[in-house]
Protein backbone atom coordinates (compact mmCIF):
# COMPACT_ATOMS: atom_id res chain seq x y z
CA UNK A 1 0.00 0.00 0.00
CA UNK A 2 1.21 3.43 -0.94
CA UNK A 3 -0.44 5.61 1.71
CA UNK A 4 -0.41 9.37 1.21
CA UNK A 5 -1.07 11.38 4.36
CA UNK A 6 -3.21 14.45 3.61
CA UNK A 7 -3.62 15.53 7.22
CA UNK A 8 -3.23 14.16 10.70
CA UNK A 9 -6.69 12.64 10.41
CA UNK A 10 -6.96 11.58 6.75
CA UNK A 11 -4.84 9.65 4.26
CA UNK A 12 -5.48 7.94 0.93
CA UNK A 13 -4.28 4.90 -0.94
CA UNK A 14 -5.17 2.71 -3.87
CA UNK A 15 -7.31 -0.42 -3.67
CA UNK A 16 -7.04 -2.34 -0.42
CA UNK A 17 -7.79 -6.03 0.02
CA UNK A 18 -9.18 -7.89 3.04
CA UNK A 19 -5.69 -9.05 4.01
CA UNK A 20 -4.52 -5.44 4.43
CA UNK A 21 -6.71 -4.74 7.48
CA UNK A 22 -4.19 -5.91 10.07
CA UNK A 23 -1.52 -3.58 8.67
CA UNK A 24 -4.01 -0.71 8.37
CA UNK A 25 -4.93 -1.14 12.01
CA UNK A 26 -1.26 -1.33 13.04
CA UNK A 27 -0.65 1.95 11.20
CA UNK A 28 -3.17 3.55 13.55
CA UNK A 29 -6.19 3.98 11.31
CA UNK A 30 -9.58 3.59 12.98
CA UNK A 31 -11.81 3.85 9.91
CA UNK A 32 -11.86 3.48 6.14
CA UNK A 33 -13.88 5.20 3.42
CA UNK A 34 -14.27 3.29 0.17
CA UNK A 35 -14.67 5.67 -2.78
CA UNK A 36 -14.50 2.92 -5.43
CA UNK A 37 -17.69 1.45 -6.89
CA UNK A 38 -18.00 -2.33 -6.75
CA UNK A 39 -17.38 -4.09 -10.07
CA UNK A 40 -15.21 -1.36 -11.53
CA UNK A 41 -12.47 -3.83 -12.51
CA UNK A 42 -12.16 -7.58 -12.83
CA UNK A 43 -10.67 -9.12 -9.72
CA UNK A 44 -11.51 -6.13 -7.53
CA UNK A 45 -12.65 -7.33 -4.10
CA UNK A 46 -16.23 -6.27 -3.37
CA UNK A 47 -16.86 -3.76 -0.61
CA UNK A 48 -18.70 -6.38 1.46
CA UNK A 49 -15.54 -8.53 1.71
CA UNK A 50 -13.38 -5.59 2.76
CA UNK A 51 -16.05 -4.38 5.18
CA UNK A 52 -16.25 -7.79 6.85
CA UNK A 53 -12.46 -8.01 7.24
CA UNK A 54 -12.21 -4.42 8.53
CA UNK A 55 -14.96 -4.90 11.10
CA UNK A 56 -13.29 -8.11 12.30
CA UNK A 57 -10.26 -5.92 13.11
CA UNK A 58 -12.45 -3.37 14.92
CA UNK A 59 -12.24 -0.83 12.08
CA UNK A 60 -15.23 1.25 10.96
CA UNK A 61 -16.16 1.44 7.28
CA UNK A 62 -18.18 3.72 5.02
CA UNK A 63 -19.02 3.10 1.34
CA UNK A 64 -19.18 6.27 -0.79
CA UNK A 65 -18.69 5.08 -4.38
CA UNK A 66 -17.47 7.81 -6.74
CA UNK A 67 -17.65 7.23 -10.48
CA UNK A 68 -14.47 7.70 -12.53
CA UNK A 69 -15.98 10.94 -13.89
CA UNK A 70 -15.78 12.49 -10.43
CA UNK A 71 -17.72 13.10 -7.23
CA UNK A 72 -21.31 14.26 -7.16
CA UNK A 73 -23.01 16.56 -4.66
CA UNK A 74 -24.33 13.44 -2.95
CA UNK A 75 -20.77 12.08 -2.61
CA UNK A 76 -19.62 15.32 -0.98
CA UNK A 77 -22.51 15.36 1.49
CA UNK A 78 -22.02 11.67 2.34
CA UNK A 79 -18.27 12.20 2.80
CA UNK A 80 -18.78 15.14 5.18
CA UNK A 81 -21.28 13.08 7.18
CA UNK A 82 -18.90 10.11 7.29
CA UNK A 83 -16.03 12.23 8.59
CA UNK A 84 -18.31 13.65 11.27
CA UNK A 85 -19.27 10.15 12.44
CA UNK A 86 -16.21 7.95 11.91
CA UNK A 87 -13.42 7.71 14.44
CA UNK A 88 -10.13 8.96 13.06
CA UNK A 89 -7.70 8.77 11.62
CA UNK A 90 -9.46 7.70 8.42
CA UNK A 91 -7.97 5.98 5.36
CA UNK A 92 -9.80 6.70 2.10
CA UNK A 93 -9.25 4.39 -0.84
CA UNK A 94 -10.29 3.85 -4.45
CA UNK A 95 -8.40 2.51 -7.47
CA UNK A 96 -5.50 4.95 -7.15
CA UNK A 97 -6.47 7.12 -4.17
CA UNK A 98 -7.30 10.13 -6.35
CA UNK A 99 -11.10 10.08 -5.92
CA UNK A 100 -10.73 9.78 -2.16
CA UNK A 101 -8.25 12.68 -2.24
CA UNK A 102 -10.67 14.79 -4.29
CA UNK A 103 -13.41 14.18 -1.72
CA UNK A 104 -11.04 15.28 1.04
CA UNK A 105 -9.89 18.40 -0.81
CA UNK A 106 -13.44 19.47 -1.62
CA UNK A 107 -14.37 18.93 2.03
CA UNK A 108 -11.46 21.10 3.16
CA UNK A 109 -12.42 23.81 0.66
CA UNK A 110 -16.02 23.77 1.94
CA UNK A 111 -14.77 24.25 5.50
CA UNK A 112 -13.02 27.42 4.35
pLDDT digits (tens, 9 = 90+) for 31-84: 999 999 999 999 999 999 999 999 999 999 999 999 988 899 999 999 999 999
Q: What is the mean pLDDT of residues 86-97?
A: 96
Per-residue pLDDT for 10 more than 80?
A: yes
| Confidence at residue 112, expressed as pLDDT on a 0 to 100 scale | 73
Question: Could you write out the DSSP letters of every residue in 40-102?
Answer: SSTTPPPHHHHHHHHHHTT-EEEE---BTTB--HHHHHHHHHHHHHS-SSEEEESSSSHHHHH
Q: What is the pLDDT of residue 18?
A: 96
Residue 16's pLDDT is 97
CATH number of the 4-111 domain: 3.90.190.10
* Average pLDDT for the chain: 95
Amino acid sequence: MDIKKLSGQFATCGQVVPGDMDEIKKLGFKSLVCARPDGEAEGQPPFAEIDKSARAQGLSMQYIPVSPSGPTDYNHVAFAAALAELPGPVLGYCRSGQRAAKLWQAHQNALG
